[in-house]
Amino acid sequence: MKKLLVFILLAATALSLFACGKAKAAPNFTVPEGGYDGSEVTVKFYHTMGSNLSDVLDIYIEEFNKLYPNIHIAYEKIGGYDDVRNQISTELSYRTEPNMAYCYPDHVALYNLTGAVATLDNIIDSTIEVTRADGTKEILGLTEEQKNDFIKGYYEEGMQFGDGLMYTMPFSKSTEVLYYDKTFFEANGLTPPTSWDEMEALCGRIKEIDRDSIPLGYDSEANWFITMCEQYKSPYTSATGEHYLFNNDVNKAFVKRFREWYGKGWVTTQKLYGSYTSGLFTSTNGTRCYMCIGSSAGATHQRPAAGDDGSYPFEVGITSIPQVDQSNKKIISQGPSICIFKKENPQEVIASWLFLKYLITSVEFQAEFSMASGYVPVIKSVSENPTYADFISKADGGKYISALSAKVCLEQADYYYTSPAFNGSSTARDQVGALISKCLAETDVADGDAFINKAFTDAIDECEYQGG
Amino acid sequence: MVDNKQQWKAWLYLSPAIILLLVFTVWPIINTVRMAFLDGYKGLEAAGGATFNFGVQNFVKVVSYNRFLSCLGNTALLCVLTVPISTLLALLIAVCLNSIKALQKPLQTIFFLPYVTNTIAIGMVFAAMFNIVGSFIGTENELISNAGIINNIITFFGGSNVNWINAGSSYTANIVVMVVYIVWNALPFKILILLGGLQSVNKQYYEAAKVDGTSRSRTFWRITVPLLSPMIAYVVITGFIGGFKEYSSIVGIFGSTMGPPNLDRRLNTMVGFIYDSLSSNNQGRASAAALILFGIILVVTLLNLYVSKKRVHY
Amino acid sequence: MSENIKVMKQKDISKVTRHAKAGGIAAKVLTYVFLVIMALIVLFPFYWMINSSLKTVDEYRMSTPTFWPQHVMWSNYSEAFRVANLGRLFLNTVIVGVISTVLSLVITVLSAFAFARLQFKGKNVLFAGLLATMMIPGELFTITNYGTVNDLGWMNTYTVLIVPFLVSVFYIYLLRQNFLQIPNELYLAAKVDGTSDIKYLWKVMIPLSLPTIISITILKMMGAWNSYIWPQLVATDDLHKLITNGLRGTAFLDEAGETNYPAQMAAVALVSLPLFLVFVFLRKYIIRGVSRSGIKG
């Protein structure tokens, strides 16, 4: 009992001790006069690159240092994306965060609680001239030409935070594409679907041809839900006001539809299958998928293992995912962006920006990084880079499947969307993903509609609890 | 008798421990209490300069959260199932180990082996063993492309595949897997303690029993268990304390979703709840939940101590 | 009770033992069968880990698992060593493990001695308070401790990996129990002789409690070997990372984000090996250590 008393006593003392101080929201970053003053600055950069990618980065850091010898880049690989987020959110409480980091929009929304992420608008618009070590000059901001070179959907992701300000720059991107077994499709006179209605008909056809197949595998449940919302123009979330808007009839209707597909054995997802559905797609015996919607960066995993003679058992076709409305094409944009943190010394921010700008506007870097990573470049002019153009021209459904995937991604560049980011957007994403798997797999319920209604209400409750 | 020299010597010897504990244990506890009683406290907002009112909102939020009861229920259920099973099994193994001569040492080593492993890493192995990769399991469209070793064994003996941990699996199946894994994990420490106890027990009692012609089970219940009761009490108490902190074993089997893929968080526990709150940056709620958990552990431990006071023979 | 025993011993022992022997063999067999089956169950995951660690990625993903790899891929081990930079991680872990074990032992011995031998005001309250801290979920300490070590400027040093966890209430408790069993008369006699406390500790208490101290050493080393969350947070540069942090994270992810499980399993096996060896060689000390500390309250 004594311990308890001690504890309560400690608690009481603790409470009386802490009254809170006051502070106000921080203003946006303003560019210091003269831009970069050439001083010695170390830029700490958190990323998740494997060694094959950081090797590419090393080369370009060296190149960058020829232009700015006093800007030192110290990068650290921090595990995966979530690790970066957790690391930084802990560090932010003590203001030991890095200067720049790989980020997803919801990470930035979280960091924004402290107001620590620098808005980039003033820098982007800045026309201050900066002199480089080799005597050449560049303007600090982005030229019109440079801005227009970015793939629009990627560039606009940085402004998804509800206040119209620019918080992030795209770094390397991927998206979802539809992989299909081209050999099988040609043999049976099938064509890849462009709409969900066609998809429905096709699943039925394939199931007739091969009883033991699951015609379609969809890797990411969350992407599926969110993309459907975008394609139907049906509310999902909002960065301002009421955040969680996805509990509506349109969304319930498509969930119900996919639930029926699942009930007929037409579709499975990564979670429900228990592994990436590419395993089903690439298998050549037993249960298989003939179509698979997955990350464009994982193209090499969608290719069946080559036989002894080096040939592939079937050819893979890649195309855009099906759409609801051909006049409102929507395809999700994924992959890391980079944000810059505010620091007491504005030179650190400027230096980080100069480095970031160098990476994302450098055609050579973007080309080389894309080829090494399987991600797609964020600027259009990369396609004019001879090495990259050569890479793309080799695109096929076998040996050069990554090139084929990249090619499809570049062709659909006008249709990329990103969803609003706010503190809680990742919860919403998790919840709608869970909603799909829950509604699809629960076959043992008397009243399906009631079950779906309940699942939607629960998901909203969960979002509000987590976010509130 | 307390003399002054002993006084200052004692504090001198204790000072390194006390200083470190004050900094790295007591201060965090105080800070936890502080955060728990600041309404809606979020570390990042605090760092950004936000202020919070004193209140019990965090506790209200936590307790009224619709999944809180399920976290508490899972935690309690796993405790109630695994502590007795693992204790009994450990006791049996320890007694058997103590009674043999040949192979005793290699067997001891084997039984301690799980002790030197990483919970999450071996959890992944267990998950692979119970896994079924497939779809529509249990429906007419069932397609199984990869059944784990456990199901291979079941089908080998003529049973049909059980959906242990995958989409559509039953709560019972999930709990069975967790119990197996937690017991597996808990055995070495308990065997270690109980075997240690057995080896220090006076052999005379057993000889007497032998002479008396007392049956084995009677010897076990009438002599071994009472003699070992302090150790048994110890492993039960620490077992409950550990059991209420169950977390990483579930991550090991189910991953960070803490449940089968179609029903995430179904097996979430109190510590899992705390982690969830931390990762959504709700330090206030996490602290409140931790204090609630502390209260529960305290009550259960006091209860355990009370029972063992009555039952343990010293 | 012992009187009774003596009386019973006088009885016809040989008759009883003959009777017991017949049932004894059956019981022995049963005992062994039970132990061996349990041992197999305990061993199975380890076998599975090693089996998996020797497979190719494709074989690992095969629909019907194979009980022995078709092509034994020893290269998974070298791959694991290379990819996860295990050499440096091992070194760091050993440095942290050894230093923290030594310091922790000093602190534990001194504290246990104070609690077991010295009389001072508030002793029982303090001891109960210490035990109470064991009941608090340690997860919550992390946030505050992060702030503390950051304020102290310890980030990315060995210090931050060692100091915060030097004191373990559990070890103090264990060793105190052990010390209590050493007769107080020895201490009083030593004091009369004018022997200093430290000398007495070194010459008498420590040798008598060696098994417990060895157990603590092993537990502490294992702690360094298995710690994950804290080092992940405070040692972010490659110079100070510890072994488990190398195992998880993304070292074994390929470019598409899929895990190379065989290599990861190989790494897990490699990491478990040193602990396993320590355990095999010091088993008897561990058992003795725990049994001697006699878990009496």
Tell me which residue in A6, A305, A374 faces C256 most closely, judged by beta carbons. A374
The pLDDT score that the predictor gives to residue B155 is 84
Query: Of A214-228, A269-283, A294-308, B61-75, which gets the smallest average pLDDT?
Result: A269-283
Over residues C106-138, the pLDDT tens digits come to: 999 999 999 988 888 888 888 888 888 877 777
Task: Give A110-155 pLDDT, tens digit per residue.
Answer: 898 888 999 999 999 999 999 999 889 999 999 999 999 999 989 9
Q: What is the DSSP letter of A279?
A: H
Backbone φ, ψ for residue A11 (5° rounding): -60, -45
B112 interaction partners in chain C (CB closer than 8 Å): 279, 283, 286
Is a pLDDT exceeding 50 seen at residue C295?
no
Q: Which among C8, C38, C132 has the least Cβ separation from residue B212?
A: C8
B54 touches chain A (CB under 8 A): yes
Q: Do B145 and A272 touch (CB under 8 A)?
A: no
Using a CB–CB cutoff of 8 Å, tell me whether A297 touches chain C: yes
Q: What is the CATH number of the domain that holds B174?
A: 1.10.3720.10
Contact B211 C16 (CB under 8 A): yes
Write down the pLDDT at residue A201. 96
- For residue A73, what pLDDT band results from cuts at 50, 70 and 90? very high
The count of domains in chain B is 2
Distance CA C69, CA C50 (A): 10
Contacts of C143 in chain A (CB under 8 A): 90, 93
pLDDT digits 0-9 by tens, A398-416: 889 999 999 999 999 899 9
Contact flag A443-B139 (C-beta cutoff 8 Å): yes
Closest chain B CA to residue A465: B65
pLDDT range class, residue A254, cuts 50, 70, 90: very high
pLDDT of residue A5: 45
Choose between C17 and B277: higher pLDDT: B277
Give the tokens for residue B178: 């967790």
- Interchain contact A5–B (C-beta under 8 A): no
In-domain check, residue B88: yes
Identify whether residues B17 and B116 lie together within a single domain: no
Q: So what's the pLDDT on residue A160? A: 87
Average pLDDT, chain A: 88
Q: Indicate the CATH number of A41-173+335-384 among 3.30.360.10, 3.20.20.100, 2.40.160.210, 3.40.190.10.
A: 3.40.190.10
pLDDT at position A415, please? 94
Contacts of A336 (CB under 8 A, 6+ apart): A47, A48, A81, A102, A103, A104, A171, A172
Mean pLDDT across the stretch C58-69?
71
Chain B residues with CB inside 8 Å of A3's CB?
298
Comparing alpha-carbon positions, the chain C residue that sits nearest to B102 is: C32
Q: How much is the mean pLDDT over chain C?
A: 78
pLDDT of B75: 94
Q: How far apart are the CA of B296 and the nearest CA of chain A, in angstroms?
A: 12
Distances (CA, A) of B6 to A294, B1, C109: 72, 10, 16
Residues 189-248 of C with CB under 8 A from B: 197, 222, 226, 228, 244, 247-248
Contact B14 C197 (CB under 8 A): no
Are the CB atoms for C209 and C186 separated by under 8 Å?
no
Is a pLDDT exceeding 50 seen at residue C39?
yes
What is the arithmetic mean of pLDDT over C14-39?
75
Residue-wise pLDDT tens digits, A311-333: 899 999 999 999 999 999 999 99
Both B72 and B12 in a single domain? no
Indicate yes or no: CB of B48 within 8 angstroms of CB of A279. Answer: no
Residues of C whose CB is below 8 A from A369: none
* Residue A41: its H or E element: strand A41-47
Instruction: Indicate the residue of C35, C163, C226 with minimum beta-carbon distance to B96.
Output: C35
Residues 180 to 199 of C: which have CB under 8 A from any B CB? 197
pLDDT-based confidence at residue C248 (cuts at 50, 70, 90): low
Side chain identity at residue C95, one-letter code = I
Kindly state whether C42 is in contact with chain B, defined as any CB-CB distance less than 8 angstroms.
yes
Question: Would you tell me which CATH number, out of the four given (3.40.190.10, 3.40.50.300, 3.40.50.11750, 3.40.50.720), belongs to the domain A174-331+398-467?
Answer: 3.40.190.10
User: Which residues of A fall within a CB distance of 8 Å from B44?
Assistant: 89, 92-93, 110-111, 113-114
Strand A331-334 and strand A174-181: the pairing is antiparallel
CB contact under 8 A, C48 and B114: no
B126 and B2 fall within a common domain = no
Domain match, B21 and B70 both: no
* Residue in C132, C147, C255 closest to A373 by CB: C255
Residue B154 lies in a domain: no
**Which of B26, B67, B298 is the closest to A4 by Cβ?**
B298
ipTM: 0.78
pLDDT confidence band for A6 (50 / 70 / 90): very low
- For the stretch A334-361, pLDDT in tens is 889 999 999 999 999 999 999 999 999 9
**Residues of C numbered 78-97 whose beta carbons fall under 8 angstroms of chain B's beta carbons: which are they?**
none
| CB–CB contact B111 C42 (8 Å) | yes
Is the pLDDT at C62 greater than 50, yes or no?
yes
CB-closest option in C143, C150, C258 to A276: C258
Q: Quick one: C259 exposed, middle or buried, by C-beta within 10 A (0-12, 13-18, 19+)?
A: middle
pLDDT tens series, chain B, 314 aa: 456 777 888 899 999 999 999 999 999 999 999 999 999 898 888 888 888 999 999 999 999 998 899 999 999 999 999 999 999 999 999 989 888 888 888 888 888 888 777 666 677 778 878 877 666 766 666 766 667 788 888 888 888 888 888 887 889 999 999 999 999 988 988 988 888 788 777 777 777 777 777 777 888 888 888 888 888 888 898 898 889 888 878 887 887 778 887 888 889 999 888 888 877 778 899 999 988 998 888 888 888 888 877 777 65
A262 touches chain B (CB under 8 A): yes
B133 touches chain A (CB under 8 A): yes
CATH number of the domain located at residue range(s) C75-292 in this protein: 1.10.3720.10
Mark yes or no for CB contact A14/B34 under 8 Å: yes
Smallest CA–CA distance from B152 into chain C, residue: C64
Query: How confident is residue C249, by pLDDT bands cut at 50, 70 and 90?
Result: low
Q: What is the pLDDT of residue C201?
A: 86
Tell me the DSSP string of B83-121: HHHHHHHHHHHHHHHHH--TTHHHHHHHHHGGGGS-HHH
Average pLDDT over residues A40-44: 95
pLDDT at A226 over 70: yes
Contact A341, A96 (CB under 8 A): no
Q: What is the DSSP pairing of strand A137-139 with strand A129-131? A: antiparallel
Task: For tokens 């907002």, name the residue.
Answer: B45
Q: For residue C241, what pLDDT is reported?
A: 80
Q: Is B14 in Cβ contact with C114 (below 8 Å)?
A: yes
Q: What is the DSSP string of chain B?
A: ---HHHHHHHHHHHHHHHHHHIIIIIHHHHHHHHHHTBTT--HHHHHTT----BSSHHHHHHHHSTTHHHHHHHHHHHHHHHHHHHHHHHHHHHHHHHH--TTHHHHHHHHHGGGGS-HHHHHHHHHHHH-EEEESTTSTT-EEEEE-HHHHHHHHTT------SSTT--HHHHHHHHHHHHHHHHHHHHHHHHHHHHHHS-THHHHHHHHHT--HHHHIIIIIHHHHHHHHHHHHHHHHHHHHT--HHHHHHHGGG-S-TTSTTTT--HHHHHHHHHHTT-HHHHHHHHHHHHHHHHHHHHHHHHHHHHH---
pLDDT at A38: 87
Average pLDDT over every residue of A210-237: 94
**What is the model's pTM?**
0.80
pLDDT at A12 over 50: no
Which of B262, B268, B274 is most worth mutating to test chain A (most A CB atoms within 10 A of its CB)? B262
CB-facing half-sphere around the CA of B8: CA atoms within 13 A: 2
Which residues from chain B sit within 8 angstroms of residue A14, using beta carbons? 30-31, 33-34
Q: What residues does CATH 1.10.3720.10 cover in chain C?
A: 75-292
Exposed / middle / buried, residue B168 (Cβ in 10 Å: 0-12, 13-18, 19+)? buried
In C108-137, the residues whose Cβ lies within 8 Å of chain A are 125, 128-129, 131-132
CB of A8 within 8 Å of a chain B CB? The answer is no
A446 touches chain C (CB under 8 A): no
Q: Is C250 on the interface with A (CB under 8 A)?
A: yes
Chain C segment 182-201 residues within 8 A of A by beta carbon are none
For the ranges A305-309, B22-26, B260-264, C291-295, which has the lowest average pLDDT? C291-295
Residues 6+ apart with CB under 8 A from B170: B163
What is the reported pLDDT for C291? 57
Counting as contact any 3 or more CB pairs under 8 A, the partners of A are B, C
Whether residues B2 and B125 share a domain: the answer is no
A152 touches chain C (CB under 8 A): no
User: How far does the CA of residue A310 sit from the closest CA of chain C (Å)?
Assistant: 16
Q: How far apart are CA B81 and CA C203, in angstroms?
A: 47
d(CA B231, CA C28) in angstroms, rounded, equals 25
| Residue B51 to residue A13, Cβ atoms within 8 A | no
> What's the confidence (pLDDT) of residue B161?
82
Cβ contact, residue pair A6, C146, below 8 Å: no
Q: Do A287 and B42 touch (CB under 8 A)?
A: no
Q: Where in chain A is the domain with CATH 3.40.190.10?
A: 41-173+335-384, 174-331+398-467
- Domain range for B6 is 1-27
Contact between chains at B122 and C49 (C-beta distance less than 8 A) = yes
